[in-house]
Structure 1
Amino acid sequence: MTLINWEKRKNPTKQEIDKFTSEKKLDPIVAELLLERDITDNGDVETFLHANVDELQDPFGLHDMDKALELIDEAIESDSKIAIYGDYDADGVTSTSIMKLALQKLGAKPIFYIPDRFKDGYGPNLDRYRFLADQGINLLITVDNGVGGKDEIKYMKDQGIKVIVTDHHDLPAELPEADAIVHPTIPGSEYICPYLSGAGVAFKIADALLGDEALELIDLAAIGTVADSVALKGENRVIVAEGLRQMKKNHHVGLGVLVKKCKLKLNGISEEDIAFKLAPRINALGRLESASSGVELLTTGDESFAKEIVDETEDINSRRQDLVNTAFNDAQSQIAEQKDHGVIVLKGNGWHQGILGIVASRTMGQENKPVLVTQFDDNSGVMKGSGRSPEGFNLFTALNKHRDLFVAFGGHAQACGFSIAEDKLDELTELLQSEPEIQGFDPTAAVVKNYDLDLHLDELNFDLIKKINQLAPFGMGNPKPVIKLSNVSLSQSRSIGKDATHLKTMITDNIHQIGAIGFGMFQQSAEMGDNLCDVYAELGINEWAGKKNLQLMLDDFQISPQAQKVAALKGVYLDYRNKRISQKAIDHFDSIVFFNDIYYEAVKRLDPKAKLIHYDEPCEGQNVLIYDRPHDIELFKSFIKNNKTHYTALYFHTDLTARYLKPDMIKMKTLLKYLYTHQSIKADEMNLVADYLNMQKNDVDFYLKVFFELNFVKMVNGFVEKADASQQRELIESPTYSKRLQRNDVEKILIESNFDDLLSWMSDYDCHC
């Protein structure tokens, strides 16, 4: 299991939060979250919290946008044949759908082609370009790909076909000679939002073509933007926020059917629903089948046809999940065999090539190591593979050193795809094992993650969710805030899910509780036991049978530092508070510690040979028994601060329990009122007063002493009378009352608390910690 070190994203002081709250007229929670994200300028705060369609940028700020529109206008006017070449992931499918629908709104009838992951590979494919050229197309528009297709695009140009490239991926050293390249990071004309997704770029073209009518397509752009994990900053926030709003209007029949199949409601969809429900189903098409049906789904107006595609999509997604689970479980034996390897290389046993990347990602998460997952491909006769690596290890750099071993290779720092001859894979595996050390990457080191808010369970409510959601949409560059709950427990934990690996539990502080779900965390909870823990989670709502309840989505939980201290103290302190102490038991201790002389003298008379010491005498390194309880908790604090004993048994004997009774304010008032209304009561008749008021004589004596000290009553000729108090007095001013409160602290902390709570309190002062 990967060790995680949680650190607060930033730690603004209370003064900084209060000042920012006042200046910007914000809620303190919202202010703290904005400060942690360095969003402090007036304009930035406003646009971040209120992303709206007015903040969409001029599409003509993108490189070659004017050229692209001119080419499209010419093609439509001349009734030329237009082809759209997309990609097989959710970003590529939505990009293709946006471009297709935008052109159709202008009267064009474009065809589209989504490459097959297994036959065509990623990006431009010369054979497929030849196929399109043979269809007699006049204009090719690439979406979510194309900048890496220099040779393929040259072929199209040689055939007299116009080419518009729309893409957002990293630029190659040499750009293709297309007629127009619409891309947000072309040197010299960088767009104001350089992190647009492929769907974002396609939407900007639709915006330039259609104006306000393009808003009907922004929901598809939102799906592509979230699915491709681009930074949700700047215009991307507007695309997602406005896309979610437009989704409520159900512009696309197929999307509405898919949303319903996912048991979602159009008017309540969030970016999380896109990320975890809609996008995975669209992605599944390209992983196992043809993603072309995804474009058909998002562009059709036929509800019956859409339902057929959605049913097929659901089946494919379920099959994808099963294939991933089977392969991942199958991989565990190989993972265990490579536990000492710096880079894990897995060989598939009939694994579907479309899920290799997911298996690599899961294995990386489990082991915190770079992972390559391969499967022999019968068609090509080579091993096809996909790789993933944690932050801190550059997978592209590691593999690029051995490019000569690959049949094909491409990727970036944290992900790659490749083909390699089977007899070269073992050689590559051996060469990679030194790479983590070369890059200074330690897979055993803790992974640092950030949390945002330190809160208590009683601060979690629906209003807090509203405050947090002011920063939505969440995603890459703006993660959903993680809440830390300290010193809580997991209660009623049970396993759920097909493979019983997921956790359903209650998080409790013994007063409040809230339900929680942790994916893949049941075993971790079993190892946690009953220990206090620090929980890191995101707050959400679970809606079931028409009822809404707060629910935590767990990111992690760890034994809290407080619990670790308690565990350490359990190795030192023994709970003897409810035990009978025999002479034989006493003989096992080096010293018997006393806080009161009366007990010290009593035990000394019974056993003159016993080694008895007072609480202020040192007993470093000894095995000791604390016999009696102090009257002042500060004395006990002093003892545990200054004596690093080997073992300490806590007995805390007393036969004066009445001295520890908590003062009853109602009884005190009742007694005082009685004394004020009965002026002829003798001091030695208080037993009669106690009986009449149904009080204990000890209580009446105690309350009476307090009244005398505070000058509430006075003694006149043996009678208790009302005193002429000249000023208001507080009960705490009475030495007797103050002393009783001190003894109450002793009783509450040392006697009434359970052993874990007692040790938790002691951990703040004890010298063993």
Structure 2
Amino acid sequence: MLVGDGLTLINWEKRKNPTKQEIATFAKENNLDEIVSELLLERDITDPAEIASFLDSSVDGLQDPFELHDMDKALELIDQAIESESKIAIYGDYDADGVTSTSIMKLTLQKLGAKPIFYVPDRFKDGYGPNLERYKFLADQGIDLLITVDNGVSGKDQIKYLKDRGVKVIVTDHHDLPDELPEADAIVHPSIPGAEYSCPYLSGAGVAFKIADALLGDEALELIDIAAIGTVADSVALKGENRVIVAEGLRQMKKNHHVGLEALIKKCKLKVNDITEEDIGFKLAPRINALGRLENASSGVELLTTGDASFAKEIVDETEDINSRRQELVSSAFADAQDQIKAQADHGIIVLKGNGWHQGILGIVASKTMDQVNKPVLATQFDENSGVMKGSGRSPEGFNLFTAMNKHRDLFTAFGGHAQACGFSIEESQLDELTELLQQEPKEQGFDPNAPVIKDYDLDLDISQLNFDLIKKINQLAPFGMGNPKPIIKFTNVTLDQSRSIGKDATHLKTLISDGTYQVAAIGFGMFAQAQTVGQNICDVYGKIGINEWAGRKSLQLMLDDFQMSPQAKKIAALKKVYLDYRNKRLSIDILNHFDNIVFFNDTYYEAAKRSNVKAKLIRYDEECNGNNILIYDRPHSLELFENFIKKNKTNYTALYFHTDLDSRYLKPDMAKMKTLLKYLYSHQNVQADEMELVAKYLNLQKNDVDFYLKVFFELNFVKIVNAFVEKADASQQRELIESPTYLKRLQRNDVEKILIESNFDDLLSWMSDYDCHC
């Protein structure tokens, strides 16, 4: 398909192509199902120990928290602060990862007897990352220890200020490292050079959980469900320990450790016993994120840490309202951005300037625009309070946005992020300079936004192979997410049947994917218009199989990622511009005279046409055919004749009529009937050749069948006629039916009937595409 406004083509490729033998061998050696084996091979998970840990994802896979850089220093500082009853402050972030990180740290310290205060920056007043004014405020409150979560590693100057005030600082973060680290008392980060952690892609909540693990031991498992939300929400790679955090977190959710989380799950109409990582990503996390996008995210921390069920319900109701408002704002802003997107069609990086856009939804607008144009995108809006442009950036795989932006850090008043996402503040006067400088970055990084987008799929299956057992096999690789995407299945040469629009704006698609025999229900978000373009053409469909539950009944459902006219369908569409289906039309002289040439395969029809009043040029199939539009009048005796004709037929328009005088279809040789007749002839010595009609009635066979079979028997020397009687011949060798010219001719005519006459037009053109010169 074409994404966005048609600038970028999506090419689907198999993630890996292990052979059937490789899959079978791998499955046997590891005692695994072949579907599971193929998925593991595609992910390069082949070591037995790695396979076991990947498929297990049990709590035993949690690593020693003291392997993290400065963990021992951080615990010593926390122990000292608690023992001396020092005032501890937690400085978090306003996204879902930041909210869950703050919540984990708060609950951990409370379990140890501390009474920490926390501060979640306001997106609109404080901006992204460490804020000097807020640090000053906290220092004025007399704090002794500041613990940052999900931020802080880029706050060199701000942290120096606290240190100069005598405040101890523990930084816990996971974002990309700046050139120079802050001089904090401890920096707990999974990617410190020389001290890289075994799971370098922890989320902020993951790092916070590891501190809880070091402080609380097994009791920390009561917090791992919160860590799972932050891990999924921040789209970090679901590899190694992150898989354990999410898998165990989903298991812990069922135990209802947190009344606020329970209330949120209930509000989302989820069943806690069936909750998945997809529910976190599409239901729970967006609602927590909405708080920080439109309001202050502190209420999210209150929700996840409260023990008051009624208070939790109040926050959840408020959260639902905020999330609905967020959806409306995004829809409006994205529609407003379309003119700017078109105006920057030639730019390597798109920079959008909001027209009254809410700052909280800039990241979503940037993300949706990126998906539309496959380019890095910065979405900005002027902030009247601070007098600067606030912005959020997103970039596709293959382009490192952090690297590109970090080169120009001196232009920003605030900046932070990682390869695919960032947040920043910049003077309005500097934004144009930044925009111009960034346009060179795609070329320098070797990123071509106009190149086809390459996407991977995992399995080639037929619809008949879909069942609930297949879902169980696929889910052995869960949890799915970044670094371990949910497997995408390709279905080749299928159609979209009974397609209809659904949703408030009627843009979503509900359809049936069919191969003519089997079908499966499918949903495609925002795909109804795309479905209208392919119609009933044969498609290759890509999607993820899942379960739809309605009114207590479960059924299979495909969530569509894409569908494209198959290569075969494109050939058929091209041939429909050349060939016309006249097989069921009544032809008059006037109609025939509209053609330049009329082509014949049979001399009988050719001679008869010559005696008519047809003015069009009449030619045999093996003569030169140079007309602009022709009609093939009759059907050939064999497919080979027709194949050779269309290999050379370069006319612009060809009508296919395929006339014959035969009223019935060609006879299909029936082996059982042939054996019955031959057995009768061998056991009756007084059968006269002209008594075949009586024989046919006696054996309950058609007379024309008996005549055909008898001629075949003569040609193969199975029988002979002696003195007008049919007798068994003295055959000296075994003969094959196909050695009979009559039998062979009948098979050829049956093939002609089946393909040229009985097939629908699309199937006929599909067959012709293998031979036709227009392809």
How high is the TM-score relative to the length of structure 2?
Answer: 0.91
Q: Aligned partners of 1:399 and 1:185: how far apart in 2? A: 20
1:268 to 1:208, Cα distance in 2 relative to 1, 3 A: same
Within 2, Cα distance between the matches of 1:165 and 1:702? 92
Q: Which moved more, 1:343-352 or 1:410-419?
A: 410-419
In 1: Cα distance, 2:244 partner to 2:436 partner: 47
Query: Which residue of 2 is the match for residue 114 of structure 1?
Result: 120
Match of 1:346 in 2: 352
Whole-Å Cα distance in 1 between the matches of residues 305 and 678 of structure 2?
Answer: 84
Q: CA deviation at 1:301?
A: 2.2
Partner of 2:522: 516
1:760 to 755, 763, 766: 766
Contact 1:231 1:475 in 2 (8 A): yes
Task: Give the 5 Å matches for 1:77-88.
Answer: 77-88=83-94
Shift in CA distance, 13/638, structure 1 to aligned 2, threshold 3 Å: farther
Amino acid of the structure 2 residue aligned with 1:188: G
Label 1:213 to 1:673 Cα distance change in 2 as closer, same or farther (>3 A).
Answer: farther
Cα deviation, residue 245, structure 1: 1.9
Distance in 2 between residues matched to 1:722 and 1:600, nearest whole Å: 42
Aligned partners of 1:714, 1:136: CA distance in 2, in Å? Answer: 118
Q: Deviations over 1:615-634 (max 9, x none)?
A: 34454676433222223223
Report the alpha carbon displacement of residue 728 of structure 1 after superposing the two structures with TM: 9.1
* Partner SS for 1:3: strand
CA distance in 2, matches of 1:318, 1:669: 75
Name which of 287, 290, 306 aligns with 1:284: 290
Confirm or deny that 1:580 pairs with 2:580. Answer: no
- Equivalent residue, structure 1, for 2:374: 368
Which of 67, 92, 97 is residue 91 of structure 1 equivalent to?
97
Which segments of 5 or more consecutive residues in structure 2 lack a partner in the other structure? Answer: none
Distance of 1:293 and 1:437 partners within structure 2: 43
Structure 1: which 5+ residue stretches go unaligned?
none
Structure 1 equivalent of residue 638 of structure 2: 632
CA distance in 1, matches of 2:25, 2:623: 51
Closer, same or farther: CA 679–534 of 1 in aligned 2, 3 Å? same
CA–CA distance in structure 1, aligned partners of residues 550 and 143 of structure 2? 52
Segment of structure 1 superposing worse, 146-155 or 83-92 = 146-155
Are 1:293 and 2:293 an aligned pair?
A: no
1:207-257 deviation per Cα after TM superposition (whole angstroms, max 9, x unaligned): 222222222221111111111111111111121122222222222222122
Q: CA deviation at 1:279?
A: 0.8
Distance of aligned partners of 1:54 and 1:712 in 2 relative to their CA distance in 1, 3 Å threshold: farther
| Corresponding residue for residue 21 of structure 2 | 15
Instruction: Give the whole-Å Cα distance in 1 for the aligned partners of 2:554 and 2:726.
Output: 62
**Paired residue for 2:691?**
685
Secondary structure in 1 matching 2:537: coil
Distance 1:153 1:692, change over 3 A: same
Structure 1 residue corresponding to 2:508, chosen from 502, 506, 510: 502
**In structure 2, do the counterparts of structure 1 residues 139 and 400 end up closer, same or farther at CA, with 3 Å as the change threshold?**
closer
Distance 1:262 1:711, change over 3 A: farther
Q: Distance in 2 between matches of 1:726 and 1:219?
A: 83
Which of 310, 314, 317 aligns to 2:320? It is 314
- Does 2:55 align with 1:53? no
Contact 2:132 2:158 in 1 (8 A): yes
Contact 2:128 2:424 in 1 (8 A): no
Query: Which deviates the most, 719-728 or 292-301?
Result: 719-728
Deviation at 1:321, TM superposition (A): 0.7
Equivalent in 491, 500, 504 of residue 497 of structure 2? 491
What's the offset of the Cα at 1:388?
A: 2.4
Decide which moves more: 29-38 or 560-569.
29-38
Distance in 2 (CA, whole Å) between partners of 1:334 and 1:389 is 17
Tell me, yes or no, if the aligned pair for 1:621 and 1:644 is still in contact at 8 Å: no
Contact 2:154 2:416 in 1 (8 A): no
Alignment match, 2:604: 598
- Of 211, 220, 243, which aligns to 2:217? 211
- Out of 539, 547, 569, the residue aligned to residue 533 of structure 1 is 539
Letter in 2 for 1:464: L
Q: Is the 8 A contact 1:33 1:452 kept in 2?
A: yes
Instruction: Work out whether 1:188 is the aligned partner of 2:194.
Output: yes
Q: Does 1:225 align with 2:231?
A: yes
Matched AA of 2:339: S
Report if aligned partners of 1:618, 1:643 keep a CA contact under 8 Å in 2. no
**Rounded Cα–Cα distance in structure 1 between residues aligned with 2:686 and 2:741:** 27
Q: Tell me which amino acid in the other structure corresponds to 1:235.
A: E
In structure 2, C-alpha distance between the alignment counterparts of 1:263 and 1:674, rounded to whole Å = 74
Q: CA deviation at 1:552?
A: 1.3
Tell which deviates more after alignment, 260-269 or 494-503.
494-503
| Residue 489 of structure 1, CA deviation | 1.8
Q: Is 1:563 paired with 2:569?
A: yes
Letter of the structure 1 residue corresponding to residue 609 of structure 2: V
Displacement of 1:283 in angstroms is 0.8
1:139 deviation in Å? 2.6
What secondary structure does 1:312 align onto? helix
After the TM superposition, which of the residue ranges 167-176 and 623-632 deviates more from structure 2? 623-632
Q: Given the superposition, is the C-alpha separation of residues 45 and 615 from structure 1 closer, same or farther in structure 2, using an over 3 Å criterion? A: farther
Report the CA distance between 1:51 and its aligned residue.
1.9
Percent of residue pairs identical: 82
Structure 2 Cα separation of the partners of residues 77 and 433 of structure 1: 54
Q: Give the partner amino acid of 2:224.
A: I
Aligned to 2:69: 63
Aligned twin of 1:383: 389
d(CA) in 2 for partners of 1:397, 1:79: 42
Amino acid across the alignment from 2:156: K
User: Given the alignment of the two structures, is residue 304 of structure 1 paired with residue 310 of structure 2, yes or no?
Assistant: yes
Contact 1:659 / 1:740 at 8 angstroms: preserved in 2?
no
Contact 1:356 1:386 in 2 (8 A): yes
SS of aligned partner of 2:104: helix
For the aligned residue pairs, the C-alpha RMSD in angstroms reads: 3.0
SS at match of 2:215: helix
Check conservation: 2:592, 2:614, Cα contact below 8 A. Answer: no
Q: Which amino acid aligns with 1:742?
A: Q
